[in-house]
Amino acid sequence: MSSIELMSPAGSFESLQAAIDNGADSVYFGIEQLNMRAVSSINFTLEDLPEIVARCKPKGIHTYITLNTILYDHDMTLMRGIVDEAARCGVSAIIAADHAAIAYARQKGMAVHLSTQANVTNVETLRFYSMFADTMVLSRELSLNQVKKIVEAVERENICGPSGKPVQVEIFAHGALCMAVSGKCYLSLHTHNSSANRGACRQNCRQKYYVTDEDGNELMIDNEYIMSPKDLCVIDILDQVLDTGVRVLKIEGRGRSADYVAVTTRCYREAIDSYYEGTYSKEKVENWLERLATVYNRGFWNGYYLGQELGEWTEDHPGSHATQKKVYLGPGLGYFPKAGIGHFRIEAYDLKVGDPVLITGPTTGVQYHTIHEMMVDEKPTIAAVRGEEVTFPVPFKIRPSDKLYKLVQSED
């Protein structure tokens, strides 16, 4: 067991369960609208908090609420309500950047994690915030050398948070990067009145742009996606990352699907564990990279950690470069526990013996399975088509809230 904390995103109950099942040490999630994914993820409500804590606490998984947008005066009651309810339900900490949220959380005795929105890039800023926060995520724009110097200063100077323990330094390990420093972007606000800093980013940077001069002549540029960085991935430099002494690795992606959470959490769990077991190897890295590429990604790079001067930008097409895609087949209907048989209705496409499938649901999380045999109308068959009800053996419970997907290779 390592002392590194792997923190996974939970934008839904499906993702939450996927994080729990795949080895996350902690999860972070938004409640109501005061978080940086107010629009792009479903977001939990205050009523969901006891359920989230009940799923995580018995397994020793920490729970963190993102309360990290900029705040207006009219947000104070909701902000206080979220902190109060978090304290009452036993949530582990509040991730905040606005001083109002930081101050209130401390007043209520809640642990505070400093959000990337606070943009910590040096020891003195970290020292200042150590009056309030026990864990701080550093700016994604720092190099590993800079990260290491900050971690060393925390140890050398014994910079402690309110808990009396040295401040834990966290960095982003995987997921989307923003073209603006630590997400402080105003593009979306300027074009759509839709503020990224209120969790309503319209992702202007992910679109294709052409550059034309005032006479209408189009300029030759190498890359149409001039503002869309590739996704951050450090699994191939994890040894260097962990050598800096950071204690928490955060996976970005509250707006992404549960299978993304399952695969990224599992890969980083394996990578962290193998680093401490002394089995971290090039072959393993290749396998992890291959698996990470199966779920949503814009292509990978190491971010700014190795001191690269300019960003690497999305290539070929916008959106995901995932090598695998999931095709919705239909809902779960039930489960026969004695026989271990799942029952589904096929509402789209078809299902064949040999197909790899993914089953996802708010309680089930994300489960992968391959179809070895199946039945339609109680007769064995090799294919089921739209409109048919199918049963097949599965080693886990199927619920009516589950959805069945077929995994297919992406065409490009």
Where do contacts with other proteins occur on this chain (CB under 8 A)?
Answer: 32-34, 38-39, 72, 74-79, 192-195, 198-200
Task: Give me the least distance between CB of 247 and other proteins, in Å please.
Answer: 33
| Nearest to other proteins of 198, 369 (CB atom) | 198
Nearer to other proteins, 42 or 375 (CB): 42
Which residue number, 193 or 217, has a Cβ lying nearer to other proteins?
193
The distance of closest approach from Cβ of residue 192 to other proteins in the complex, given in angstroms and rounded to an integer, is: 6
- For the bound state, the minimum distance from the C-beta of residue 68 to other proteins, rounded and expressed in Å, comes to 14
State the nearest-atom distance from the C-beta of 17 to other proteins, in Å: 25
Q: Is 363 in contact with 17 (CB distance < 8 Å)?
A: yes
Q: Which is nearer to other proteins, 79 or 261 (CB)?
A: 79
Closest separation between CB of residue 11 and other proteins, Å?
Answer: 16
* CB closer to other proteins, 32 vs 312: 32
Nearer to other proteins, 31 or 249 (CB): 31
CB of 268 to other proteins, least distance (A): 31
The dihedral formed by the CA atoms of 254, 256, 258 and 263, expressed in degrees to the nearest 10: -100
Cβ 261 to other proteins shortest distance, Å: 24
Report yes or no: 96 and 39 within 8 Å, Cβ to Cβ: no
Considering the complex, state which of residue 42 and residue 180 has its C-beta at the smaller distance from other proteins.
42
**Is 36 exposed, middle or buried, given 0-12, 13-18 or 19+ CB atoms closer than 10 A?**
buried
Angle made by CA atoms 366, 367, 370, in degrees to the nearest 5: 145
